[in-house]
Structures are given as C-alpha cells and as structure tokens.
Amino acid sequence: MTRVVLIGGGGRMGQALAGCLLDGVVPGLELAGAVDLATHENQGKDLGSMSGRPACGVKLGDNLPAVAENGDVFIDFSFHTGIRERMLMLSTLGKAAVIGTTGLTPEDMSTLDELSASMPLLFAPNMSLGVNLLAALVERAAEGLRDKGYDIEVTEMHHRMKKDAPSGTAIFLGEAAARGSGWSLPEVQKDGRSGMEGERPDNEIGFHALRGGDVVGDHTVRFATDGELIDLSHRATRRETFAIGALRAAAWLQGTQPGRLYSMKDVLGLEDT
C-alpha cells in the first residue's frame, strides 16, 4: 500500500481526500497522516470523524516533520505560503508530492521546477480529469482558430469562500488558449472590464470571476466571432471530483522517477498538442 499524508488536511479538500482514502476509492492507497496550521479549528480531531465516517485513528496534527517518515506520497492542498519550504524538506527525505495548491508565485514555480529534478513532483492547479481534458481541447481549438478572428474569454464561478481570483483553473485554461493562439498569457491577459475601456483588441484573453453560494467550480472558455459562439465548459458538482483526481495522481506518481515537473497530462497519458 502507498501511504498518503495530507498537507492542509483540515480544510474542505483535506476532508474530501480523507474520505475518499478511507472509502478505498483509488485502490492501493492508505491514509497515513494529515497536518494543518496549529490554529486550525479541527486540530486533534480524527480524520474519519471529520469526513463523516467512523474514527480511523489518524488525527490532524500541525508538525509535518513529525509525520514525514509515515508517508510515501504527500498531497498538498494547503495555502500557498510556505510551499517552497515544505517541498524542500520532503525532497531531502526522498518523498514524492502532488501539489494542488493555487496562487503560486513565479518564484514558487521555479523552485518546483528545480526540485522536480531530485524528487517525483506533480503540480496541477486543478486535479479533475475532466478539466485537464478540457484544457487539451481548449488548446487544440485555439490552435485551429488562430488568426481567424475569434475573441477568447474565460469565465469562472466559485463559492463565496474562495480567496484568489481569477481561479488557478481559469488561468490554467487561459494558458492553454494562449499556447494554442501562439501568445504569452501575461502579455494578453485582461482581468475584468470597467468604465470606458474602448474597443476590444484582437490579441486579448479576458477573465471574469464570479463568487457566490457553494459553487464547487464552473469554468467556460468562449471563442466568439461575428455570427458564431463556441463554448467549452466544465462544471464540478462535488469536491470529491478533485480529490479522486489527486489520488489517481498520487497512485501514478508512486514509483515514478524524478526528472521534470509532472502534470495531470502525464496521468491521463495526453500528448502535447
């Protein structure tokens, strides 16, 4: 059995991951530990009870080094602050890690790229198999529609508690659209519009973030031209969707050799377009 330790185990995703692990949704994985901030309201609670299941004997702690030896693969859905320090520590122990944390800085990503040479490391801003398939379709569509007069807009909606905007998944899809269009996303990204913006330029990808209710995740990439709209969309209805994808990534990563920063494309066996 591959032993899994959850970083950010007290949050919504941590509880979903624990529940899926305890239910054996992805065979060959077992819950070996979970950590979160010392101030988290769930500190000391049993992960089984937290996820609405019988007590499992694994309690939420706050000391990652203390449980590091218990795990083979670590799944990190915690807040992005401290991601570099956490991964540096795990790399010295020869551990593997799946990172679903969003809001990472360019410096964070640079560190992950460097560490991927010495530890099995997989990063994805969205662990859903469907979203990653959608990104491949978006890139292919953008490539096929390149220089044909189609404007690209990305809209997303999440629950009221989400902190970052646009979402990491929206940026992920925008990057796919930019690659297919032959653009660099930072050069064409436009976050929202207000006031006298003037006419929309040709080389632009617009992002629009909606927040409210308990929406798990709703993303659409729209290609618009005179007389035609093409929408490529994904809607997540359960948080377990992302948990199952992360666990599939953990199972795939175990035993994989380091060498580069892996993604869900590798798990799905998708070739670059």
**The domain that contains 40 carries what CATH number?**
3.40.50.720
% of the chain with per-residue pLDDT over 90: 93
Identify the three-state secondary structure at position 188: helix
Average pLDDT, the chain: 95
Whether 100 and 206 map to the same domain: the answer is: no
Whether 110 and 200 map to the same domain: the answer is: no
Residue 259 lies in a domain: yes
Whether 226 and 258 map to the same domain: the answer is: no
Whether 43 and 114 map to the same domain: the answer is: yes
Whether 145 and 44 map to the same domain: the answer is: no
- Alpha helix (H) residue ranges in the chain: 12-23, 47-50, 64-67, 83-92, 106-115, 129-144, 168-181, 185-188, 240-253, 264-268
What integer pLDDT is reported at residue 180 of this predicted model?
98
Residue 90 lies in a domain: yes
**Mind telling me the catalytic residues?**
158, 162
What is the rounded average pLDDT of the residues 82-98?
Answer: 95
Identify the three-state secondary structure at position 124: coil
CB atoms within 10 A of CB 155: 18
**pLDDT-based confidence at residue 125 (cuts at 50, 70, 90):** confident
Q: Which domain does 62 fall in, by range?
A: 2-123+239-268
CB atoms within 10 A of CB 261: 17
Residue 18 has pLDDT above 70, yes or no: yes
Residue 103 has pLDDT above 90, yes or no: no
% of the chain with per-residue pLDDT over 70: 99
**pLDDT-based confidence at residue 272 (cuts at 50, 70, 90):** low
**pLDDT-based confidence at residue 163 (cuts at 50, 70, 90):** confident
Encode pLDDT of 206-262 as tens digits. 999 999 999 999 999 999 999 999 999 999 999 899 999 999 999 999 989 999 999
Residue whose tokens read 């969205």: 126
pTM, two decimals, is: 0.86
Residue whose tokens read 């996303």: 185
Residue 271 has pLDDT above 80, yes or no: no
Residue 273 lies in a domain: no
Residue 133 lies in a domain: yes
Residue 273 has pLDDT above 60, yes or no: no
What integer pLDDT is reported at residue 79 of this predicted model?
83
163, 200 contact by CB (below 8 A): no
Encode pLDDT of 179-197 as tens digits. 999 999 999 999 999 999 9
Give the closest residue to 13 by CA, choosing from 208, 210, 217: 217
What is the rounded average pLDDT of the residues 159-166?
Answer: 92
What integer pLDDT is reported at residue 270 of this predicted model?
86
Domain count, the chain: 2
- Report the alpha-carbon distance of residue 213 to residue 135 in Å, rounded: 26
